[in-house]
Amino acid sequence: MDSLWTMSLLLVLDGGTLAIFTTPIVLRYGTLHEPWSVAIVGSAASAAGSACQLLLMRWFISSRHPWMERFTPSREKVEAAVQQYRSASFMAILLARATPMPDLPLKIVAAVVEYPVPLYMLAVLLGALPYFYALALLGRAFHVPNWVLIAAVAVIVLGVVIDRMRIRRRRSS
């Protein structure tokens, strides 16, 4: 359970789904391995998971599911912006991945315009490297106990659930 392979599997699964466990995973494995190895292996695994998520999002969007329409901007507007600022799109993805901020809006845009998956993976990989290295260093320096990481994840999940419930109540009122 403490190997870099396990961490990789967890990060691929996390990156391919909701990507809410990335920080606790990297903090945990930072206590077990050298920060540079956690950063390199973790960034590659996270990029692979993010690429899978991007492909899934493309499928959802291209399948014209009615429930996805409210999340997706006008295809024409997004394509025009991406064509005009192609390198800025790469940098936006890279910078979003280099921070703990959610990058879901960028993933949706990348899916809508069918941003090249290898380029997307590269931006995620390069952005995650310094972020994962910093997290691994923090994990090593402070040896965050597992129960604290689990509690943090539980608080995040609870916050998302409460927020969704509030939105549904407002819509039904």
Instruction: Give the domain ranges of the chain.
Output: 4-142, 145-173
Report, as ranges of residue numbers, the positions in the chain whose pLDDT lies below 50. none
Look at residue 68 in the predicted model and tell me its pLDDT.
58
Look at residue 55 in the predicted model and tell me its pLDDT.
93
Look at residue 61 in the predicted model and tell me its pLDDT.
76
Look at residue 123 in the predicted model and tell me its pLDDT.
95
> Model-level pTM greater than 0.95?
no
Look at residue 147 in the predicted model and tell me its pLDDT.
87
CB 144: neighbour CB atoms within 10 A?
Answer: 17
Look at residue 83 in the predicted model and tell me its pLDDT.
64
Look at residue 173 in the predicted model and tell me its pLDDT.
73
